[in-house]
Structure 1
Amino acid sequence: MASPAADRRTVLARLARLAPGLASFVHYRRDDLRHDIVAGVCVASVALPVGVAYAELAGFNPAIGLYSCLWPLVAYALFGTSRQLIVGPDAATCALIAAALTPFAAPGSDAYLALSATLTFVAGLICIAAGWVGLGACADFLSRPILTGFMNGIAISIALGQVGKLLGFKIASTGIIRPFIEIVEKIGQTHWPTLAVGSGAFALLIALPKLAPRVPTALATLAIAAGVVGLFSLDSYGVRTIGAVPPGLPWLTLPTLSFTKLDTLVVDAAGIALISFCSAMLTARSFAARNHYEIDDDREFAAIGAANIVSSLTQGFAISGADSRTAMNDMAGGRTQMASLVAAASIGLVLVFLTKPLQYVPTPALGAVLVMAAVSLVDLATLRTLWRESRSEFFICISATLGVVLFGSLRGILLAVVLALFRFIRLVARPSCEVLGTVEGMKGFHSIARHADARQTPGLCLFRFNAPIVFFNARHFRLSVLNAIDASVPTPTWFVLDAITVTSVDVTGRRVVEELREELGRRGVTFVLAGRRTQRLEWREKHGLRHAADNQLHYPTLRAAVQAFHAMRKPKKPSQSPT
């Protein structure tokens, strides 16, 4: 019979598999509480203005933005594996929501909110399903250049979308060229009080970090702008405000699935799920590495899904990992998921007791906050690095940016995914190949292309293929081998393939290798393998070929193959006849 302690360990192990965050609370240390409380309050001070601003971006009432900052934080704290990651509305998901729903309903309407709940719920289900089947590795396929390009495109789109709020007129066009033309045409309609409020907000956003670095800049800016509007009644002069925010916590609602639009929403939800997860993973991995712990990709996928489902059930919209709020959490000393619970509690207190002052927050000040947030998304440092280190990845990054700006966020995602697939196919279908030689003073064998003083042994061609030999690169392997032999002077009598770098060979690859061996034999060149000898013998035994004829020369290492070649070439001593 198991002891109570063993039963408790079993329960905790099961709990850790289902809800890693909840399991961490069981072992919570009191020493962390003070740090987590401070960090949670700091996170809430950043999340409040950002939630209001991003709700405006996505086409919702400001309260919806605050709802999206509340219960999803609790859900992620229970199911996530990152100690620092803060979830909530972010620029990319808000832009995707607006692009997906605007064709079907007017922003802010009940129909718009219902479609958003469905979209968020489906995105959450997709994330959970992807986590269960082990698709967490999908984050690795969207490289940093592609995600950087996508985020740069989102930043440009957001900034252009806020110009109308800052100038006091509506911009109906989308893209980059047509909105710019529309702005030029309507510049005479500028509402000067609105422009003054927006300009003042910009001045505060720039000056406050220098004058009072410990003060939450966005929160202080919106508070000052709301005070000015209320004090001087600027709303009566035509300056738009966000209006009344209903007090109280969000109630539980079930999304009403619109089956007529479900097929379209599923595609949009898949795009939101992909970008939400990849964006969150980049942030979570960065802070996990900084704080020396590991995260579980698949559980993170499921945790983001759970947070989205909770958001849809509590009148929120789609969320993701939030860079700025996660950075604030880490900077303020947050150590565990408890900081997320403290932040959620702080936001809940604001919703219950402090919603009245929010009605005076001016729309141009929100626009200024969003423009500054968009500017912070632009990553010029990565662009400069890509230009120096890899021109091809630089152009992939620029292509992703142009895809978002010219074709919209959702099509930009598709373009980014296609670029990622093309890049992956290019890397594995056309891997690097190397002819090897020896370099004086260096052990082993090295690429003759990278070492000008590398020497080849006459009559011997050592070849390295840096990939598995499979159906989509087998022809490239064959042509590369033939080109290497044709370029060797004199023509080699032995061709040695380094099998260590060939991680696997499929049926097509084995057929091509056998045909190549026969072709080289007709040329008088012996095909030799070096490395993975035991693995090849096990494969032959497994497939019933143990006792079949095997005339393939196979040595355990490249050095052993080279030694055998020299031994073969060494002239034999003539035998002496007895006297």
Structure 2
Amino acid sequence: MAKALHWIYRLAPGLYALRHYRRGDLRYDLVAGLSVVSVAVPVGIAYAELAGFPPASGLYASMMAMLAYAMFGSSRQLIAGPDAATCAMLATALSPLAVIGSPEYLSWSIALTFLVGLMCLGASRLRLGVLADFLSKPILIGFLNGIALSIVLGQLGKLLGFPVLSTGIVDRFVEIADKLAQTHLPTLGMGVLAFALLFAMRHRLPRLPAALLVMVLLGALVALFDLDRQGVAVIGAVPAGLPNLAVPQISREAIQTLFSAAAGIALVSFSSAMLTARSFATKNGYEIDPDRDFAALGAANIASSMLGGFAISGADSRTAVNDAMGGRTQMVSVIAAIGIALALILLTEPMRYVPIAALGAVLVYTGIFLFDLRSLRALWALDRNEFWLAQVVLIGVVVSGMIQAILLAVAISLVRFLQLTARPAVDVLGEVKGLAGLHATTHHESVRTREGITMLRFNAPLVFFNAPYFRQRMMAIAEEGGEGLRWIVLDLLPVSRIDVTGFYAIKEVSEALAKRGIMLKFAGRTTELSSYLAGRGVNFGPVRESTYPTLRAALKAFRQASSNTSQQADTGLPNDPSNPS
């Protein structure tokens, strides 16, 4: 029984936390849960509109995502639910396949969400949580900024009162410019009022649920003045009650058609959730398990699809509300899910009057603040290359769309990784007066090197894809050392791994240098190197006999060898500089 419980708790860490729940946390979690509901209801409805779903689907997705993540996730603060990036990507992927809002569109979307969940579960099984580390900060900034532009342009038609049928960012901009004369003024007025209220509450009443209050106020205006009869589009009837459970049907055609889109959504969903979860885990002093959270997002997406919802991720705004209101455990998600269920049962009638322009205003407002100008400024100050990398990804989203931009982002990440490891820095080391240790000549102008010896640091593992570069740099440095060079000492501390190709590269370099009268020596990792050679039965004497525990020890040995050489030259005896003893 104990083993079974251990397995269950390992699979569902949230269940363990809820079973051992402390009553003292309830009052904090209750306040935080109700605060999350006040944000999740309007945002869920707005994101359903963004994804091309009925309003209730956003609430179904929110409710099921919260419950699933509370059971299977490792973060105490993260709130799962509809997310601007995943919703925008879902709509972009499906709009060429069916008319948005049609039964076919909804069927495709449910299948895509289910497939995203399966991919997340498979990625967790393969322990691919490390993928979150592959999308660097500049790439994510560029990608999210591109999504922000896409969201803003995609919702302008709702604010202006006419449909926008184009899918690409550039095409949408052109279509909106052509249709400006068709602007519906009452709808525009509602949108402007929504914006004014959102910004006023942000600055004067920041603790209030601005999106919820704006929708309530504008819905009341529509109901009081019959604005829906004057052409102001509203949400309309929202089905009351909870949805029926159903297992999505996925055909081979759906898998073939949706595979790349599902992979892209799964990657962005996971990466975004991990950025949020890690930030709040660090703030609150605990660790999260990326592989476990991959499985939790998979379960949340599958649960969402089975109730007619759509793809979800970690919701940064709702997570921030949870943390700000003092939420302590996964119970916040359970309380919030119950609150959304009550809203579906009791509050669907008032929801019907909420104007579409209010939803559009909330989404454009979200897109404006999703655009991270502060981080762009920081990138410009820290590293111009990283700044332009973010712009390349943003342009990729604008020109080719979000799904293709995901592939571009992954490709850029891999190229960056290969660039850093295949062409690592090779530093020549020397002494600096007044500073302990040895330092790179590229970092200090006053570095002094010793005649006859060059000490090097190869800042990467020595493996198959950088072994040719290692040979090239070693021979170039030997050439630069001139005829007086006798020793090259390679610092092995940064070389965390040497594969077979790297070993043969060292052997070839050692033999080539020996022909020039130069000896290749090694400092650091002497035990590891000896064990590596002995464990494989390799008899490569020049390596085994030329290792020193530190660079200082190698430098001392060179001085002694040089001194012995001078003495032997004076007495006419033969010398061997490789054997200082």
Which of the five TM-score ranges fits, normalised by the shorter chain? over 0.9
| Aligned counterparts of 1:539 and 1:210: Cα–Cα separation in 2 | 63
| Aligned counterparts of 1:550 and 1:51: Cα–Cα separation in 2 | 64
| Aligned counterparts of 1:387 and 1:210: Cα–Cα separation in 2 | 28
Deviations 1:499-529 (A, max 9, x none): 1111111222122211111111111111111
Partner amino acid, structure 2, of 1:572? Q
Partner amino acid, structure 2, of 1:230? A
Structural mapping, 1:83-98, within 5 Å: 83-98=76-91
Structure 1 residue 204 displacement after superposition? 0.6
Structure 2 residue 197 is matched with structure 1 residue 229: no
1:46 aligns to what?
39
Aligned length: 568
| Aligned counterparts of 1:462 and 1:473: Cα–Cα separation in 2 | 20
Deviates more, 1:252-261 or 1:442-451: 252-261
State which of 194, 202, 205 in structure 2 corresponds to 1:209: 202
Partner amino acid, structure 1, of 2:567? K
Partner amino acid, structure 2, of 1:453? S
1:372 aligns to what?
365
Structure 1 residue 256 displacement after superposition? 1.5
2:501 aligns to what?
508
The question of whether the paired residues in 1 share the 8 Å contact of 2:240 and 2:348 is answered with yes
The residue matched to 1:503 in structure 2 has which SS? coil
Structural mapping, 1:278-293, within 5 Å: 278-293=271-286
State which of 302, 325, 346 in structure 2 corresponds to 1:332: 325
1:545 aligns to what?
538
| Aligned counterparts of 1:387 and 1:52: Cα–Cα separation in 2 | 37
Structure 2 residue 172 is matched with structure 1 residue 187: no
| Aligned counterparts of 2:263 and 2:317: Cα–Cα separation in 1 | 25
2:567 aligns to what?
572
1:4 aligns to what?
none
Deviates more, 1:149-158 or 1:98-107: 98-107
Structure 2 residue 337 is matched with structure 1 residue 344: yes
Structural mapping, 1:295-314, within 5 Å: 295-314=288-307
The residue matched to 2:429 in structure 1 has which SS? strand
Task: Sort the Cα spacing of 1:142 and 1:549 in 2 relative to 1 into closer, same or farther, 3 A.
Answer: closer
2:25 aligns to what?
32
Structure 1 residue 250 displacement after superposition? 1.5
| Aligned counterparts of 1:176 and 1:548: Cα–Cα separation in 2 | 64
The question of whether the paired residues in 1 share the 8 Å contact of 2:522 and 2:543 is answered with no
State which of 375, 381, 387 in structure 2 corresponds to 1:382: 375
Partner amino acid, structure 1, of 2:161? G
| Aligned counterparts of 1:454 and 1:540: Cα–Cα separation in 2 | 35
Partner amino acid, structure 2, of 1:271? G
Task: Sort the Cα spacing of 1:259 and 1:11 in 2 relative to 1 into closer, same or farther, 3 A.
Answer: closer
Deviates more, 1:310-319 or 1:205-214: 205-214
Deviations 1:204-227 (A, max 9, x none): 111123333332000000110100
| Aligned counterparts of 2:255 and 2:167: Cα–Cα separation in 1 | 25
Structure 1 residue 481 displacement after superposition? 1.7
Partner amino acid, structure 1, of 2:73? G
The residue matched to 1:68 in structure 2 has which SS? helix
Deviates more, 1:497-506 or 1:367-376: 497-506
| Aligned counterparts of 2:544 and 2:305: Cα–Cα separation in 1 | 66
Unaligned runs of 5+ in 2: 572-581
Task: Sort the Cα spacing of 1:551 and 1:188 in 2 relative to 1 into closer, same or farther, 3 A.
Answer: closer
Structural mapping, 1:10-409, within 5 Å: 10-409=3-402
1:555 aligns to what?
548
The question of whether the paired residues in 2 share the 8 Å contact of 1:175 and 1:405 is answered with yes
Unaligned runs of 5+ in 1: 1-6
Deviates more, 1:386-395 or 1:62-71: 386-395
The question of whether the paired residues in 1 share the 8 Å contact of 2:112 and 2:262 is answered with yes
Structure 1 residue 238 displacement after superposition? 0.4
| Aligned counterparts of 1:248 and 1:541: Cα–Cα separation in 2 | 71
Structure 2 residue 491 is matched with structure 1 residue 498: yes
The residue matched to 2:450 in structure 1 has which SS? coil
| Aligned counterparts of 1:261 and 1:23: Cα–Cα separation in 2 | 37
Deviations 1:122-167 (A, max 9, x none): 1111101111111000000011111111100000001001111111
1:437 aligns to what?
430
The question of whether the paired residues in 2 share the 8 Å contact of 1:73 and 1:340 is answered with yes
Q: Percent identity?
A: 52
RMSD: 1.6
Structure 1 residue 462 displacement after superposition? 0.1
| Aligned counterparts of 1:188 and 1:109: Cα–Cα separation in 2 | 28
2:578 aligns to what?
none
State which of 399, 406, 411 in structure 2 corresponds to 1:413: 406
The question of whether the paired residues in 2 share the 8 Å contact of 1:537 and 1:546 is answered with no
Partner amino acid, structure 2, of 1:434? D
| Aligned counterparts of 1:491 and 1:143: Cα–Cα separation in 2 | 45
Structure 1 residue 257 displacement after superposition? 1.3
Partner amino acid, structure 2, of 1:167? L
State which of 469, 472, 476 in structure 2 corresponds to 1:476: 469
Structure 1 residue 177 displacement after superposition? 3.0
The residue matched to 1:375 in structure 2 has which SS? helix
The residue matched to 1:496 in structure 2 has which SS? strand
Task: Sort the Cα spacing of 1:211 and 1:545 in 2 relative to 1 into closer, same or farther, 3 A.
Answer: closer
Structure 1 residue 188 displacement after superposition? 1.1
Structure 1 residue 376 displacement after superposition? 1.4
The question of whether the paired residues in 1 share the 8 Å contact of 2:111 and 2:254 is answered with no
The question of whether the paired residues in 2 share the 8 Å contact of 1:461 and 1:495 is answered with yes
Q: TM-score, normalised by structure 2?
A: 0.95
Task: Sort the Cα spacing of 1:540 and 1:209 in 2 relative to 1 into closer, same or farther, 3 A.
Answer: closer
Structure 2 residue 440 is matched with structure 1 residue 447: yes
The residue matched to 1:349 in structure 2 has which SS? helix
The question of whether the paired residues in 1 share the 8 Å contact of 2:78 and 2:314 is answered with yes
Structure 1 residue 547 displacement after superposition? 9.7
Task: Sort the Cα spacing of 1:551 and 1:281 in 2 relative to 1 into closer, same or farther, 3 A.
Answer: closer
| Aligned counterparts of 1:146 and 1:294: Cα–Cα separation in 2 | 24
Deviations 1:3-30 (A, max 9, x none): xxxx54x454323211000011122111
The question of whether the paired residues in 2 share the 8 Å contact of 1:115 and 1:258 is answered with no
Partner amino acid, structure 2, of 1:506? D
| Aligned counterparts of 2:171 and 2:109: Cα–Cα separation in 1 | 27
The question of whether the paired residues in 2 share the 8 Å contact of 1:485 and 1:491 is answered with no
The question of whether the paired residues in 1 share the 8 Å contact of 2:149 and 2:367 is answered with yes
Q: TM-score, normalised by structure 1?
A: 0.95
